[in-house]
Amino acid sequence: MRFYLTAGVVIILDRLSKGWIMNNINLGDSWVLISGILDLRYIHNKGAAFGIMQGRSILFMIMAAIVVIGAVYFNQKYCPPRWPQYALGLIVGGALGNVIDRFVFGAVVDFISVGWFPVFNLADTAIVCGGILLMLWIINNEKIHSAD
């Protein structure tokens, strides 16, 4: 249940944030929140993370589908503990949030600009946080089992 609830919350927050940006900022414009540190900059990204591999939306949608199917299968088959469920829910919710953009707009809606870092969105943040949580859980789980 944690897995699906986490994914659902991520999708809802991602859709709400992107909807707000699209309704309040013109494509290509930005609002400075903290000068030189944090801006809201509305762009469309037709590539992958950091804008690489532009124009390959079908490939990214297929890759996201594989990740989502794999995570759902793993969650159903193995009933993992709480933290991997949260981690996988973050990853799946983020992946689906960006897939929705690619399907509807032909590109991902990005809007968070931090310093020199490429513009990203809440779905991207969920994917990265989920990946970090999953890695930490795996590392911690390995240490526990290797001590036996």
- Please report where in the chains the tokens 């400075």 appear, as a residue: 32
For all residues of the chain together, what is the average pLDDT?
91
User: From CA 103, how far away is CA 61, in angstroms rounded?
Assistant: 8
| 124 among known catalytic residues | yes
Reported as a single tens digit per residue, the pLDDT across 87-117 is 999 999 999 999 999 999 999 999 999 999 9
Reported as a single tens digit per residue, the pLDDT across 43-71 is 999 877 666 676 677 888 899 999 999 99
User: Taking 90 as the threshold, does the pLDDT of residue 24 lie above it?
Assistant: yes
Which candidate in 14, 39, 101, 110 is catalytic?
Answer: 110
| 29 among known catalytic residues | no
Going by C-alpha positions, the residue among 100, 86, 72, 97 that lies closest to residue 6 is 86
The ranges assigned to domains in the chain are 2-137
What pLDDT sits at residue 124?
A: 95
| Mean pLDDT, rounded, for 22-38 | 96
Binning pLDDT at 50, 70 and 90, where does residue 14 land?
Answer: very high
Which candidate in 14, 39, 101, 124 is catalytic?
Answer: 124
Quick check: 36 and 114 in contact, CB under 8 A?
A: no
